[in-house]
Amino acid sequence: MARSIDPAAKAERGFLPPRNDEERFLMRHVEDLARAAQTRSIPRYSGFLSDREQDLARAALGRAGMQEGWRFDGGYPDAERRVLCIEPEYCDADSPVCCVQLCCRAQAGAALPAHKDYLGSLMGLGLTREKIGDILVSPQWADVLVGSSVADFLLQEWTQAGRVHLRLSEIGPEEIAVPEQPAKLLRDTVASLRLDSVLAAGFSLSRSAAADLIRSGKVEENWMSCEKPDAPVQQGDVLTARGLGKCLVESVGGQSRKGRTGITMKRFL
What is the DSSP track for the chain?
------HHHHHHH-PPPP-SHHHHHHHHHHHHHHHHHHHH---EEEEEE-HHHHHHHHHHHHHTT--SSEEEE-SSTT-SSEEEEE--TT-----SEEEEEEEEE--TTPPPP-HHHHHHHHHHTT--GGGEEEEEEETTEEEEEEEHHHHHHHHHH--EETTEEEEEEEE-GGG-------EEEEEEEESSSBHHHHHHHHHT--HHHHHHHHHTT-EEETTEE---TT-B--TT-EEEETTTEEEEEEEEEEE-TTSPEEEEEEEE-
Query: Could you tell me the pTM of the whole model?
Result: 0.69
Distance from C-alpha of 124 to C-alpha of 126, rounded to nearest angstrom: 5
Longest dimension (CA), the chain: 61
Residues in the chain: 269
Calculate the dihedral angle through the C-alpha atoms of 58, 59, 62, 67, rounding to the nearest 10 degrees: 20
The mean pLDDT of 114-136, rounded to a whole number, is 93
Do residues 239 and 177 touch, judged by C-beta distance below 8 A? no
Q: Average pLDDT for residues 20-45, to the nearest whole number? A: 93
184-207 pLDDT, tens digit each: 999 999 999 999 999 999 999 999
Contact 252, 14 (CB under 8 A): no
Average pLDDT, integer, range 245-265: 93
C-alpha–C-alpha distance, residues 50 and 58, integer Å: 12
Distant-in-sequence, close-in-space partners of 155: CB < 8 Å, separation ≥ 6: 100, 168, 169, 170
**Average pLDDT of the residues in 37-45:** 91
Output the CA–CA distances (angstroms, integers) from residue 258 to 187, 191, 238, in the order listed.
17, 9, 27
Residue 9: what pLDDT?
A: 41
Model pLDDT for residues 146-155, shown as the tens digit of each residue: 998 899 999 9
Q: What is the pLDDT of residue 3?
A: 46
As a whole number, the mean pLDDT across the chain is: 88
pLDDT of residue 109: 64
Is 23 within 8 Å of 30 (Cβ atoms)? no
Share of the chain above pLDDT 90, in %: 62
* pLDDT tens figures, 54-101: 989 999 999 999 988 999 999 998 898 999 999 987 777 788 999 999
Q: What percent of the chain has pLDDT over 70?
A: 93
pLDDT at residue 13, as a whole number:
39
